[in-house]
Amino acid sequence: MRIDKELVWNCITLFAAALVIVTVISFACPAKAGNWSGLTWNTRYYNPLAYPRSPEFSLTWENYEDIGVLKAVLGKDLGLVTYQEDYLYATLGLEFATWVTLRYRDDSMAFPLITEDFVVAVPLTFCYKQWSWAVKYNHISAHLGDGADELLDTKTIAYSREFVSLHLARTFRFEDVWTGTLFGRVYAHGGYLVVVMPKELGRWYAGGGFEIAIDKFVNPYIAFDGTWNDDVGSFDMSGQLGLWRGGHGVHLDIRVALTGYIGSDRRGQLVGRKLNNIGVGIFIR
């Protein structure tokens, strides 16, 4: 497995700079002001449940071209510095994630690595009552693993992109005589690629989605995302149907869900391949 040394160095530099910022602000702002805080569990914009690139911890079993694959995601969003004024919150954060797909082999009880994608982002997020929004600067790079040759007829390409993205969401709460309390959320997002390799790929994307959950001890929920990706000219749809323990902004929430995806492959080395996947997974934030 080839390690992206430049990406590792950039992540270390970014994290060190964030620690310096938090330290300086913590000493510069008096505690009695009560408006500043540092190092929170998440940012003020809750990333969509069904969007394929949302950072979280997850393990999903999916079918890929009639072959079962295991998709593991190690990701998190963290709040570095937060400013509060009445109902308004503003948080400068850090997002990072690694997407890995593995193929199970019966003959050797092994999991050859197929693909690995790395994402790091710096989001500036806001929240005001039921509204939340964010501006992010993102970096993605993608690589093939040692098990790709056995499954895929493809060669490694130089894949990297840096882009600015905008995000907007609103939450709703409904009282229903049959089900109790319903929580809903709608959102829209879009972005433009400042740097992209291969250069012939399109440079923008836009989409949105919704999430609905019933307020129970374990919340049944449904989530859907539809996004137009101009890189290969594809409208991609993904969804989840399952049980959710926790909720938006809770320090720890866990979901178990059936998953579905129709559209172009979002893994960088395989971008443009058509997918029609179903799966089952566990998701933790």
Ranking 24-33, 133-142, 168-177, 270-279 by mean pLDDT, the lowest is 24-33
The Cα-based distances of 125 to 139, 140, 161, 177 in angstroms read 17, 20, 22, 35
- Which pLDDT score is estimated for 182? 87
User: Is the pLDDT score of 73 beyond 90?
Assistant: yes
Q: Give the CA angle between residues 163, 52, 88 to the nearest 5°.
A: 65
Round to whole Å and give the CA distance between 189 and 54: 12
196 versus 236: the higher-pLDDT residue is 236
**What CATH number is associated with residue 188?**
2.40.230.10
Round to whole Å and give the CA distance between 58 and 280: 11
Q: Is residue 144 within 8 Å of 154, Cβ to Cβ? A: yes
Ranking 128-132, 212-216, 218-222 by mean pLDDT, the lowest is 212-216
Ranking 117-126, 143-152, 234-243 by mean pLDDT, the lowest is 143-152
pLDDT band at 24 (very low <50, low <70, confident <90, very high): low
User: Is the pLDDT score of 167 beyond 90?
Assistant: yes
258-274 pLDDT, tens digit per residue, is 999 999 999 888 888 89
Q: Is residue 266 within 8 Å of 53, Cβ to Cβ? A: yes
Only one residue has tokens 């080839």, namely 2
Q: Is residue 159 within 8 Å of 146, Cβ to Cβ? A: no
User: Is the pLDDT score of 152 beyond 80?
Assistant: no
End-to-end Cα distance, the chain: 27
- Which pLDDT score is estimated for 31? 45
- Which pLDDT score is estimated for 174? 82
pLDDT band at 1 (very low <50, low <70, confident <90, very high): very low
pTM, 2 dp: 0.84
20 versus 142: the higher-pLDDT residue is 142
202-225 per-residue burial string, b: 16 or more CB within 10 A, e: under 16: eeebebbbbbbbbbeeebebbbbb
Q: How many domains does the chain have?
A: 1
39-48 pLDDT, tens digit per residue, is 888 889 999 9
Mean pLDDT of the chain: 85
142 versus 12: the higher-pLDDT residue is 142
- Which pLDDT score is estimated for 239? 98
Burial of 30 (0-12, 13-18, 19+ CB in 10 A): exposed
- Which pLDDT score is estimated for 34? 54
Round to whole Å and give the CA distance between 177 and 168: 30
Cβ within 8 Å of residue 152, ≥6 positions away? 114, 144, 270
- Which pLDDT score is estimated for 4? 53
244-254 pLDDT, tens digit per residue, is 987 666 568 89
Burial of 8 (0-12, 13-18, 19+ CB in 10 A): exposed
The secondary element (H helix, E strand) that includes residue 190 is strand 180-197
Its domain, for residue 96, covers: 5-284
